[in-house]
């Protein structure tokens, strides 16, 4: 990706311009991932599951609710989108995994469209490329390592991939990108590195190391789709809320608890054409900001 040592630039689909991202906990992240002392602490403590469980426990305590209103004001969140008033949240974690009011995220109605599964900043590549690798941020991510399944890696090699990075300020529920028959998720254990742009710039392979869950969506308009929900530092819990079986496009699939996190959506070869802005800006090395339910791409006739 373009070198951006001091600022993280993201293309905003709605304004049509590059904007500087305000990274939650930026000083702490830069110390952890960009200094020798920080990297020692990262590997000794921060990436450990117990650290995230401890932090999640703190954010679930009733006293953490005092953090909610200042957080909303600091990051300019739109309270009118929330299903419940700010004063109703029992803890910061309760607020973090909040629901939105009905209609806050319209789902693209075209039967052939595929939608973003989450609010966030997205990278999209039309083809995973040779040797089963996803190329992102100037580095490579091994597809076999990500899926922990050689057969699935071969199945999705050469297909499109979308990496959706959620920040702590985002709505933290993830949804179906298309209608289809949802499988039981398969959990893959791992550490909990950050998935912030600062961390991923140092090592995008964290996405294939972290704790994650893999689900397949079959009988869709674009063949079989794989969804990978990736945990991260302070996100030790990935909750699946949609039961296996037929699920409609845009229906909630699950939620993350506190922290930044990531959803990776994989498509079989030549089954999806990514939206122009997603493909163009990703090729330039910029994520695009878009909301859940907006068009990610269109199914292709095969």
Strand-strand pairing, 252-256 and 173-175 = antiparallel
Q: Is 175 a catalytic residue?
A: yes
Active-site hit among 164, 196, 202, 261: 261
What residues form DSSP beta bridges with 212? Answer: 188, 230
Rounded to whole angstroms, the Cα distance separating 131 from 41 reads 34
Q: In terms of C-beta density within 10 A (0-12 exposed, 13-18 middle, 19 or more buried), how is residue 140 classed?
A: middle
Q: Tally Cβ neighbours within 10 Å of residue 145.
A: 15
Q: Pick the catalytic residue: 52, 91, 119, 202? A: 119
Which single residue is written with the structure tokens 């190391």?
209
Contact 233, 194 (CB under 8 A): yes
Task: Please name which of 129, 226, 240, 237 lies closest in space to residue 180, comparing C-alpha atoms.
Answer: 226
Kindly name the residue from 94, 113, 175, 275 that is annotated as catalytic.
Answer: 175
Give the span between the Cα atoms of 263 and 175, in whole angstroms.
10
Angle at alpha carbon of residue 224, lines to 294 and 212, rounded to 5°: 75
The verdict on whether 122 is a catalytic residue reads: no
Catalytic center residues: 119, 175, 261
């Amino acid at each position: 990706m373009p070198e951006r040592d001091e600022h993280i630039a993201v293309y905003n689909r709605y304004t049509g311009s590059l904007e500087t991202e305000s990274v939650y906990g930026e000083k702490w992240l830069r110390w952890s991932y960009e200094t020798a002392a920080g990297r020692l602490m990262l590997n000794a403590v921060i990436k450990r599951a117990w650290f995230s469980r401890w932090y999640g426990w703190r954010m679930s305590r009733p006293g953490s609710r005092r953090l909610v209103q200042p957080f909303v004001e600091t990051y300019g969140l739109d309270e009118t989108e929330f299903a419940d008033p700010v004063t109703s949240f029992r803890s910061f974690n309760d607020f973090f995994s909040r629901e939105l009011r009905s209609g806050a995220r319209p789902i693209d109605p075209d039967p052939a469209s595929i939608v973003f599964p989450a609010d966030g900043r997205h990278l999209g590549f039309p083809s995973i490329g040779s040797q089963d690798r996803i190329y992102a941020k100037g580095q490579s991510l091994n597809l076999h390592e990500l899926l922990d399944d050689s057969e699935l890696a071969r199945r999705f090699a050469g297909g499109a991939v979308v990496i959706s990075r959620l920040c702590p300020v985002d709505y933290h529920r993830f949804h179906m990108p298309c209608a289809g028959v949802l499988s039981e998720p398969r959990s893959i254990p791992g550490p909990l590195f950050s998935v912030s742009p600062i961390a991923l710039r140092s090592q995008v392979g964290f996405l294939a190391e972290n704790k994650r869950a893999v689900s397949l969506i079959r009988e869709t308009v674009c063949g079989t789709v794989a969804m990978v929900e990736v945990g991260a530092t302070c996100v030790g819990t990935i909750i699946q809320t949609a039961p296996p079986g037929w699920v409609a496009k845009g229906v909630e699939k699950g939620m993350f608890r506190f922290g930044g996190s990531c959803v990776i959506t994989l498509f079989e070869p030549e089954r999806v054409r990514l939206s122009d802005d997603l493909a163009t800006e990703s090729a330039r090395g910029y994520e695009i900001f878009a909301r859940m339910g907006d068009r990610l791409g269109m199914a292709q006739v095969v």
